[in-house]
Amino acid sequence: MKVIIVGGGKVGYYLASTLLEHNHEPIIIEINKYLCQKLANSLNIPIIAGDGTTISALKLAKIQDADVLASVTGKDEDNLIACQLAKKYFNIGRTVARVNNPKNAKILKQLGVDTPVSSTDNIARLIERELNTSAIKQLLSLNSGEVSLIEFDVPPQFKFNGTTLSEFQMPQESVIVSVFHNNKLEIPRGNTQLFVNDRVVILIKDEFVNNLYETFGLNAEAEKT
């Protein structure tokens, strides 16, 4: 997945490093030339010296090929402009903006930013999850994005087909809320079994969502789609 990151400060560096570790393709746009040099010496990725709130800099980063734009500068107004340009002029499917002042989150959302996020860790997790939007669907975000209610279909690669919930090890800080088996809703109990193609609804802390991919074999499923 190709991700354009506007802002090469600590947050931008952390985000690029995290995405690189998981085999994504980040590109950083940073207006400070000295900082660009430091980034180029630390990260083996394209670094664009320019203003991410301008069309010309976004074109230099080949934004038309990107899956996501994440603007993580220290100025909410710059993050908003970068996201709006990505949407309006380049039809980017997903924009994420760092919110330095939490009071601005609602405004940024109203003005077209797909996902305003105040937590650096949440930014990395949200962008990573773009790879698996076909596998996991977020139904509801709770407690300022710390907890999510999500649903997905148990894939064919699920190794524990027929296992009861009392025997199944869920990721920490998560609980199965409901199971749809043969289109019938089941309230989960210890003797409830999980089968391939069941649809499950799970309440989980956002920091542990990525663990679901390995637990349920969702990564393998995503690679096939």
Predicted local distance difference test score (pLDDT) of residue 24: 86
Q: What is the pLDDT of residues 4-56, one digit of tens each?
A: 999 999 889 988 988 888 788 999 999 999 999 999 999 999 999 999 999 99
User: Mean pLDDT of all residues in the chain?
Assistant: 86
Domains of the chain by residue range: 2-131, 137-224
Query: b/e per residue, 151-189, with b = 16+ CB within 10 A?
Result: ebbbbeebebeeeebeeeebbeebebbebebeeeeeebe
- Binning pLDDT at 50, 70 and 90, where does residue 135 land? low
Superfamily of domain 137-224: Regulator of K+ conductance, C-terminal domain (3.30.70.1450)
Predicted local distance difference test score (pLDDT) of residue 101: 86
The whole-model pTM stands at 0.62
Predicted local distance difference test score (pLDDT) of residue 124: 63
**222 or 114: whose pLDDT is higher?**
114
- Please give the average per-residue pLDDT across 54-59, as a whole number: 97
Residues 63, 115: Cα–Cα separation, whole Å: 18
**3-class secondary structure, 184:** strand
Q: What is the pLDDT of residues 90-114, one digit of tens each?
A: 999 889 999 988 788 889 989 999 8
- Pick the closest to residue 12 from 134, 98, 114, 91 (CA basis): 98
The sign one gets for the Cα dihedral 184, 133, 150, 168 is: positive
- Binning pLDDT at 50, 70 and 90, where does residue 88 land? very high
Is pLDDT at 133 greater than 50 in this prediction?
Answer: no
**132 or 49: whose pLDDT is higher?**
49
Predicted local distance difference test score (pLDDT) of residue 127: 65
Predicted local distance difference test score (pLDDT) of residue 222: 40
The sign one gets for the Cα dihedral 117, 119, 122, 128 is: positive
Q: What is the pLDDT of residues 67-86, one digit of tens each?
A: 999 999 999 999 999 999 99
**125 or 105: whose pLDDT is higher?**
105
Q: What is the pLDDT of residues 143-200, one digit of tens each?
A: 766 788 888 999 998 999 999 999 999 988 999 999 999 888 999 999 999 999 999 9
Strand 193-194 relative to strand 163-164, pairing = antiparallel
Backbone phi and psi for residue 3, each to the nearest 5 degrees, phi listed first: -125, 125
Cα radius of gyration (the chain): 19
Please determine whether the domains at 2-131 and 137-224 fall in the same fold group of CATH: no
Superfamily of domain 2-131: NAD(P)-binding Rossmann-like Domain (3.40.50.720)
